[in-house]
Amino acid sequence: MGLVLDALTSKFVTRLGRLIEDEVVMTLSVKKDIKRLKKNLEHFSAVREDAEALAMEDRRIEAWWKNMSDVMFDVDVIIDLVMVHSQKLLLPPRSLCFNQPMVSCFEKILFDNKVARRIKDINEKLDEIKMNTEMFNLDRSLRQQFQVTSVDRNQTSPIDELEVVGREVKQSVDDIVQMIVSGCHENSTSVLGIQGMGGIGKTTLAQKIYNDQMIREKFQVHIWLCITQSYTETGLIKQAIRVAGEKCDQLETKTELLPLLVDTIKGKSVFLVLDDVWKSDVWNDLLLSPFMRALNFHILVTTRDLCVLSEMHATYIHQVNKMNYSDGLELLMKKSFQSSEQICDFKNVGYDIVKKCDGLPLAIKVVAGVLSTRRTVAEWKSIRDSKWSIHGLPKELGGPLYLSYSNLPPQLKQCFLWCALLPPNFAIGRDDVAYWWVAEGFVRKENDHSIHEIAEEYYLELIRRNLLQPIPLFVDKGESTMHDLLRSLGQYLTKDHSLFMNAASNSSVSNLRRLGISHAIKEIPPLEEHKCLRSLLLFNNKNFNSIRKDIFRKLEHIRVLVLRGTNIKDIPDSVGNLVLLRLLDLSYTEINKLPESMGRLISLEYLSLRGCRQLDSLPAGLMRLSNISSLQLQDTAVDHVPKGIAKFQQLYNLKGVFESGTGFRLGELRCLPNIQRLLVQKLEKAAPVGELVLRNSHNLRELALGCTMASTKERTRYQTGVIERIQQVYDMLIPSPSLVYIYFNGFPGIRFPEWLCSEPELNMPSLCHMHLNDCISCSELPPAGQMPELLVLQIKGADEVVTIGTELLGQGVRSAAAFFPKLELLHIISMCNLEKWSLNIKNMCDDMEENLRQLALMPCLKRLLLVDCPKLRALPQDMYMIVNLKRIHIEGAHKLQEVVNLPAVAWLKVKNNACLKRISNLCKLQDLFAQDCPVLDQAENLFLLKRVYMIDCPHAQEFRDCLGGEEEGILVHVATDGHNIFPDEALYN
């Protein structure tokens, strides 16, 4: 299963057609066999669309399907081998490897014979497979066509309260909380359980209990641990210590960690959540003993298995009920993006679909993802009446979950299945997964979009279909996760050729093609046994510390090799044998040298060395790899980037380059027309050139520029002449209008470049993210308020800025009638000399024409972060005009005396503010978090306040007294021991 036959046959037929026309391949004796192979594959374009489903229901068809899968992987290998060989024949002798002559006629004959034998074997297998005529159906008129379309980013906003829990959960939360609190007294212990099938909302219910105001009030320490099937004991103990408020970075062994955990919780009341427990030993054998040292503790466990709770001696078990149909229908409508006007039209058929989802929130959401691509009632009825049940699938993976997969276009099916190789709860980065998919050959270039842009659209489409869950912290949905049930579905569908190996794995797969290895695996299996392997993924597995010298002579089919965060120090010379390797990720490893044999990796497209802090040089052979598309060198010890990057005409992503001696020169960027993501470091070493180096970069989307800077306390200062030269370098780095992200990471110039200060809305009309970090000598900020699409603005370490005034707003965007018309997040950090922040929007409007006097101020701003601005005396008076500002965090503003007149703010955190005395006129404030505010003692007009948490605030009682009659019904939790009693802030994102 898990073979997307239609996508593969179409791709292979096209590639074989190109091979036949290739002049080099024309000289091969295998041309006739290649033509026959192409004809054979054309036959398989008529395979029944429901063949994969039939294979799960019929063992005979399953065997046919598995054979077909193996052959398709073999076809992919042989096509790549022929293409690589033809490419070798065209290379000059020095491009192959040092001391290696041009491929001789004898070698060519050997290769031709080897390929001819393999293609002949494949054709014979295909002839046998074709004998099963019942698998073919020539009527393809109903085949779904897939085309890349623009994804509406606003359609995948973070989930809201109703979507998560439904209306019936509140009573369950109240009952369990009351049970815990009533039994909470000294020396008491209890284990309570939440049991239910996957996708029913166990974790959501536990989150509600964990963050309930009464739980927060009763317990001193609150710990949440997610217990994956591949957890490690040391990793889990470390997580518990960190969540409890202590550091343990230098400790590595269980023997060292357990005493620290005991010291952290000893004599305190503890509330512990163990989420997604599969075996009771995590509690009985590991955590019970240290937690017995607490003053009292109560444990909340979520699990699918009642036996787990029995073995943990749970005193109470709550079984989660399914979502009622009314809440389910509302969830379905929201997640399928139907407008409120359409709900009546779809209500009846939607109700039927919710019933088929059997009250499971996850099922409702993924089916809603399918329905989001259907716009008529008739299409919804077609989904309702289609075949949902597939015999052979485990019950919890069938029905709605399989329906959501089966309705994916072929390319998206492959991408979805691939994500199941990743570890549980893995943060899936948009850029990373796009590279992996392209390297695997899943992404088909269409129209005028680059293949990487199309891969990103695939990622966003999986989010829109609710098959990936965006992490709310990222406005651009740059990271997401996959629900464990969907991950299990992907693993089941690919079990014949792919495996994620964890501590519980006991199955072996013949002809294994893809292998992911959990960080919990203590002994890496003998990989040379898997000669057909094409993807190998290890993330943060510290047990992997060496590679056998000859291993890559066996794994010649590898295309994707990820060893990120492992302890390897050396890469053997045999890596040069991986002629099919397209992606090599060695980031955050201990490697100190790369072998020259890497110059033979002529298929390599993606190389990541990010965070390799022991690596100080690059092999000269690297510059011969003309297919490089992504090269990441940031945060390494490399002190010289060789000249020749201009030869990499396919470069899409280049990060961490810098000028040095006879090495890389900025002028080489002029020769990279396809570059979309660029990070240039150490610009203090760069020399100005006579022309604009980015003038040909018409598709540039991300630009990061930086000079070497020290910490904020000990700034690196440059001489005047050097600063002038740096200023000239920045001035010539004019980006294209396509720019979406810009980062200044260290800029010693006294003024920002002209292209950032003069009409930036024309120079960068698509800019969404602007980060100005450590621009230490600029006294005036650019007019970011004029940027029509700006979502995120961060200003950090601008030492010379004393006043933020109307220059930041600019002239506004007239077409949008607003300053910062789309800004959602504003971060002002480490502004050591900032004294005044003024908006003065009224005065600006008075100076404008009559029809422009009603300009809005930041109408979309949701969050403000103001940290380490010790001289700031007051917030802007006009801030009350920001109508959607819901959340503010103010820390280290020692001159600030009051936070007042913010009518929209619902969440406020104030920390370490020496002079803050008053919080007033926040009429919608619900949650207040105060810490280390020694004079805070006044509160006025906080009518909706529900929760107050105060740590080390000496006048907490006076503050409470100011609430007067309002305090009734408000949770007020005060601590004076410096212990963090705040709820998990991530839940407020």
Listed residue (887, 906, 888) closest to 944, CA to CA = 906
802-825 tens-digit pLDDT: 999 888 988 766 666 678 999 999
The three-state (H, E, C) secondary structure of 370-385, written as one string = HHCCCCCHHHHHHHHH
Q: Of 189-198, 375-384, 920-929, which one has max mean pLDDT?
A: 920-929
For residues 26 and 387, the model is more confident at 387
Residue 759: pLDDT band with limits 50, 70, 90: confident
For 66, 248, 443, 503, 983, the CA distances from 70, given in Å and listed in that order, are 6, 47, 21, 27, 51
Which residue has 């597939």 as its token pair?
A: 390
Residue 98 is predicted with a pLDDT of 43
Contact 41, 71 (CB under 8 A): no
Residue 338: pLDDT band with limits 50, 70, 90: low
Rounded to an integer, what distance in angstroms lies between the CA atom of residue 197 and that of residue 357?
13
433-456 tens-digit pLDDT: 999 999 999 998 777 788 999 999
- Please report, rounded to a whole number, the percentage of residues in the chain having pLDDT higher than 70: 85
Question: Could you count the other beta carbons within 10 Å of the beta carbon of residue 21?
Answer: 9
The single-letter code of the amino acid at 122 is I
Which residues contact residue 244 at a Cβ distance below 8 angstroms, ignoring those fewer than 6 apart? 221, 223, 261, 264, 265
Residue 928 is predicted with a pLDDT of 93
Listed residue (149, 699, 707, 28) closest to 446, CA to CA = 149
866 phi and psi angles, rounded to 5 deg? -125, 105
Q: What is the CATH number of domain 323-407?
A: 1.10.8
Contact 930, 949 (CB under 8 A): yes
528-532, 608-612, 734-738, 942-946: range with lowest mean pLDDT: 528-532
Listed residue (111, 93, 95) closest to 600, CA to CA = 95
Residue 514 is predicted with a pLDDT of 92
Longest Cα separation, the chain: 95
- Using DSSP, state whether 66 is helix, strand or coil: helix
Confidence check: pLDDT of 798 > 90: yes
Could you tell me where the beta strands, DSSP code E, fall in 726-837? Answer: 741-745, 769-773, 792-796, 803-804, 818-819, 825-829, 836-837
- Please report, rounded to a whole number, the percentage of residues in the chain having pLDDT higher than 90: 34
- Concatenated DSSP letters for 345-378? HHHHHHHHHHHHTTT-HHHHHHHHHHHTT--SHH
Dig out the tokens for 550 from the structure.
Answer: 């000859």
394-424 tens-digit pLDDT: 877 878 888 888 888 888 999 999 999 999 8
Pairing of strands 479-481, 469-470: antiparallel
Dig out the tokens for 60 from the structure.
Answer: 């005979």
The three-state (H, E, C) secondary structure of 640-674, written as one string = CCCCCHHHCCCCCEEEEECCCCCCCCHHHHHHCCC
Q: In the beta sheet, which residues pair with residue 914? A: none
pLDDT averaged over every residue in the chain? 83
The three-state (H, E, C) secondary structure of 306-326, written as one string = HHHHHHCCCCEEEECCCCCHH
Q: What is the pTM of this model?
A: 0.82
Rounded to an integer, what distance in angstroms lies between the CA atom of residue 610 and that of residue 631?
9
Q: Mean pLDDT across the stretch 775-785? A: 92
63-77, 601-615, 707-721: range with lowest mean pLDDT: 707-721
Residue 565: pLDDT band with limits 50, 70, 90: very high
885-894 tens-digit pLDDT: 999 999 999 9
Confidence check: pLDDT of 943 > 70: yes
Rounded to an integer, what distance in angstroms lies between the CA atom of residue 366 and that of residue 709?
47
The single-letter code of the amino acid at 838 is S
Rounded to an integer, what distance in angstroms lies between the CA atom of residue 702 and that of residue 740?
6
Confidence check: pLDDT of 96 > 50: no
Rounded to an integer, what distance in angstroms lies between the CA atom of residue 22 and that of residue 965?
85
Listed residue (7, 13, 16) closest to 82, CA to CA = 16
97-132 tens-digit pLDDT: 444 444 455 556 666 677 788 888 888 888 888 776
Residue 214 is predicted with a pLDDT of 79
The three-state (H, E, C) secondary structure of 924-952, written as one string = CCCEEEEECCCCCCEEECCCCCCEEEEEC
Rounded to an integer, what distance in angstroms lies between the CA atom of residue 157 and that of residue 833?
37
Sign of CA dihedral 966, 967, 970, 973: positive
Contact 793, 770 (CB under 8 A): yes
Residue 504 is predicted with a pLDDT of 67
Element (H, E) at 464: helix 451-464
Contact 727, 750 (CB under 8 A): yes
CATH superfamily ID and name for 175-319 = P-loop containing nucleotide triphosphate hydrolases (3.40.50.300)
Confidence check: pLDDT of 140 > 50: no
Residue 161: pLDDT band with limits 50, 70, 90: very low
Burial class, 60, CB count within 10 angstroms (exposed 0-12 / middle 13-18 / buried 19+): exposed
Contact 49, 143 (CB under 8 A): yes
Confidence check: pLDDT of 274 > 70: yes
Rounded to an integer, what distance in angstroms lies between the CA atom of residue 733 and that of residue 754?
10
Tell me the domain boundaries of the chain: 1-134, 175-319, 323-407
Residue 27 is predicted with a pLDDT of 58
Element (H, E) at 36: helix 31-43
Contact 875, 835 (CB under 8 A): no
Contact 946, 971 (CB under 8 A): yes
Which residue has 């929201």 as its token pair?
A: 334
End-to-end CA distance of the chain: 39
Listed residue (673, 668, 675) closest to 691, CA to CA = 668
